[in-house]
Amino acid sequence: MHHIDDIAVSQSVAGQTTEEEDLSINSHISECPACLERVRTAAVLHHSFERLFDSWSARSHGRIVERRSLLEGLQSAGSSGSGLAEAALRSLYYLKASSTVAFSILLDRTRMLASQAAYMLPRGSSFALSPAFSGVGASQAGAVEEHRKASSQLLAEGRKDEAMAELEQVSIIDKRASQAAVATINISQEESIRAYSDARQGRVWIKVLSTKPTGERRFVFLAPVEPSGPSRIAELTPVAGETYLLAAFDDVASGGFRLFVSTHR
């Protein structure tokens, strides 16, 4: 049996379909239990998220993320089962109510340029950009780091084009030094969060180092700055034999992103 596609489900629960499309969807779900369950799940997520977003944006730092982007990300997660969407939605509520870490990430996969900056820092925390791998001499290495730090600062101020221009200067000196960025936000003596961005592979991954892990599920949210698609959600999972949690996003397109991570509860 042909099933309703995800876009149609999303538009239906958001009230963005025509009467003819509604009739077709309602006719289908009357005969298809699988699609009926998908529509019900999407409706619950949609209305829950609307209440969450309205309360969040009214009390926090302006328009943090695009409503549609996060909603579509949750609905996509919901289609995978295993309670992922519901657990991620609870994590979003926690992000609203608690200290939140967020990185700004800028990727250009064509020119292989990557930059990172702090977007949200809990009180008392600190941001540090890791040194680039470089095969140049000491004098040029100093110039590389100056341009990389300038790029990070410009990105933090929302000056994306100027941030890219600084990375291009890095690339002229040493192409490898501009292709990836690594930054750490130190929350406390008990926890730090490190983000890696690789423009060569289109990969973003997050490592949470904590001396007081809990059994609660934790998630990270990669939200595009421009409304170019849904947010992506990944669960932080323990690594065998290690003391950190890891999450990764593959095939990340060029563009600007906010990477949201809840701090230790």
Residue tagged 């690789």 (tokens): 198
Give per-10-residue mean pLDDT for the chain (265 aa): 76 78 80 80 67 52 47 57 59 56 91 92 86 66 90 92 94 89 88 92 91 72 74 83 87 90 64
Per the confidence metrics, is the pTM higher than 0.75? no
- Domain chopping of the chain, boundaries: 6-97, 100-262
CA dihedral 22, 23, 26, 29 (to 10 degrees): -110
Quote the pLDDT of residue 58.
Answer: 42
Quote the pLDDT of residue 8.
Answer: 80
Residue 186, beta-bridge partner list? 126, 192
- CB neighbours of 215 closer than 8 A, spacing ≥ 6? none
Q: What are phi and psi of 18, to 5 degrees?
A: -80, 170
Q: Is 99 helix (H, G, I), strand (E, B) or coil?
A: coil
- CB neighbours of 41 closer than 8 A, spacing ≥ 6? 75, 78, 85
